[in-house]
């Protein structure tokens, strides 16, 4: 038999970040939480929580947390049909669903879908952010139940729904273009003009260069891990960067930003992958994500 009191203690420590906060939520003492976690770890012969500030899960701890998410979803459905199972003085705890998306989707269209779902479902959301080429890894490792990803092939145990493509433009300020590309855009000039890169996982600049020029170019770059700051930095002439059409279309229309090379968009296909075991419980979230994506992304 599974010790659900111990499993719930592990999940709550991870969710709140501490044994003390978990104890408050579960209406027990911190020592009781510590004892439950310790006994479960000893039974499994594995560490589930890395003690620290905040406490974080190990890989096995993450699997415990995702299991408790499934349990919470099932309980929410059950209590919706049989509310008398809940004691009046003990309202059901809200379930937190863990999902992942890329920063540019979160900064453009995804939040509309997530907020629409959250307002009607009663669930809480924990949204992790990673590069679209890497969010599938969160699914593979059991850290999330669903993710926006660039991976078309289904992650093992997941269902895939195409969403459309997030369109990017290589953009810069007119002043930047005059300073670095007055004689035209060439690979030699690109090798001298500073770009803006989100982080080490960001390959959009190189993908665009290869698409337009057919060869990779090593170029200097600023590092700026913020979707909106990417746009602001381009407006301020700090560098050129790949910005989502949804964020720069007005700036392109007014001339505050221009395309580094006209009519050379880069389209990144996106997919919604959902853990099969959670797919039925997340069908409203899937519907919200697909509806918003198909209205905002390039189809």
Write down the pLDDT at residue 197: 96
Please state, in angstroms and rounded to a whole number, the distance separating the CA atoms of residues 241 and 222: 10
pLDDT tens, position by position, 250-285:
999 999 999 999 999 999 999 999 999 889 889 999
Is residue 71 very low, low, confident or very high in pLDDT (cuts 50, 70, 90)?
confident
Domain boundary among 43, 60, 77: 60
In a domain, 111, yes or no: no
Domain stop point among 9, 42, 60: 60
pLDDT reported for residue 231: 96
Number of structural domains the chain divides into: 2
293 in a domain, yes or no?
no
Task: Examine the pLDDT at 122 and tell me if it is beyond 60.
Answer: yes
In a domain, 204, yes or no: yes
Which of 60, 82, 104 finishes a domain?
Answer: 60
Instruction: Specify the CATH number for the domain of residue 250.
Output: 3.40.190.10
- Contact (CB, 8 A) for 163 and 272: yes
pLDDT tens, position by position, 124-148: 999 999 999 999 999 988 889 999 9
Residue 186 belongs to a domain? yes
pTM: 0.83
Q: What's the mean pLDDT in 279-296?
A: 95
Does some domain include residue 6? yes
**pLDDT score, position 90:** 56
**Residue 154 belongs to a domain:** no
Q: Does 108 reside within a domain?
A: no
What pLDDT is recorded for position 203? Answer: 94
The verdict on residue 110 lying in a domain is: no
CATH number, domain of 23, equals 1.10.10.10
- 243-252 pLDDT per residue, tens: 999 999 999 9
Q: What angle do CA 150, 154, 158 make, to 5 degrees?
A: 115
Q: Which position has the token pair 């999940």?
A: 11
3-state secondary structure the chain: CCCHHHHHHHHHHHHHCCHHHHHHHHCCCHHHHHHHHHHHHHHHCCCCEECCCCCEECHHHHHHHHHHHHHHHHHHHHHHHCHHHCCCCCCCCCCEEEEEECHHHHHHHHHHHHHHHHHHHCCEEEEEECCCCCHHHHHHCCCCCEEEECCCCCCCCEEEEEEEEEEEEEEECHHHHHHHHCCCCCHHHHCCCCEEECCCCCCHHHHHHHHHHCCCCCCCEEECCCHHHHHHHHHCCCCEEEEEHHHHHHHHHHCCCEECCCCCCEEEEEEEEEEHHHHCCCHHHHHHHHHHHHHHCEC
- Provide the domain limits for residue 34: 1-60
């Amino acid at each position: 038999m599974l010790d659900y009191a111990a499993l719930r203690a592990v999940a709550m420590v991870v969710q709140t970040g501490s044994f003390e906060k978990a104890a408050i939520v579960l209406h027990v003492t911190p020592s009781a939480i510590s004892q439950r976690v310790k006994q479960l770890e000893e039974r499994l012969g594995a560490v589930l929580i890395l003690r620290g500030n905040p406490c974080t899960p190990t890989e096995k701890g993450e699997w415990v947390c995702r299991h408790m998410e499934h349990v919470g979803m099932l309980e929410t459905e059950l209590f919706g049909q049989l509310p008398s199972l809940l004691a009046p003085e003990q309202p059901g705890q809200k379930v937190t669903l863990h999902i992942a998306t890329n920063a540019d989707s979160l900064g453009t269209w995804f939040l509309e879908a997530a907020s629409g779902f959250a307002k009607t479902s009663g669930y809480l959301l924990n949204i992790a952010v990673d590069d679209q080429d890497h969010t599938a890894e969160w699914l593979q490792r059991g850290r999330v139940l669903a993710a926006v990803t660039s991976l078309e092939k289904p992650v093992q145990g997941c269902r895939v729904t195409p969403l459309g493509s997030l369109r990017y433009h290589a953009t810069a300020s007119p002043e930047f273009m005059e300073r670095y590309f007055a004689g035209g855009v060439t690979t030699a000039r690109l090798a001298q003009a500073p770009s803006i890169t989100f982080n080490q996982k960001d390959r959009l600049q190189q993908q665009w260069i290869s698409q337009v020029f057919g060869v990779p170019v090593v170029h200097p770059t600023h590092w700026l891990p913020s979707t909106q700051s990417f746009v602001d930095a381009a407006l301020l002439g700090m560098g050129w960067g790949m910005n989502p059409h949804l964020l720069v279309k007005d700036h392109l229309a007014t001339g505050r930003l221009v395309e580094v090379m006209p009519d050379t968009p880069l389209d990144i296909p996106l997919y919604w992958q959902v853990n099969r075991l959670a797919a039925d419980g997340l069908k409203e979230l899937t519907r919200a994500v697909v509806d918003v994506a198909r209205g905002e992304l390039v189809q």
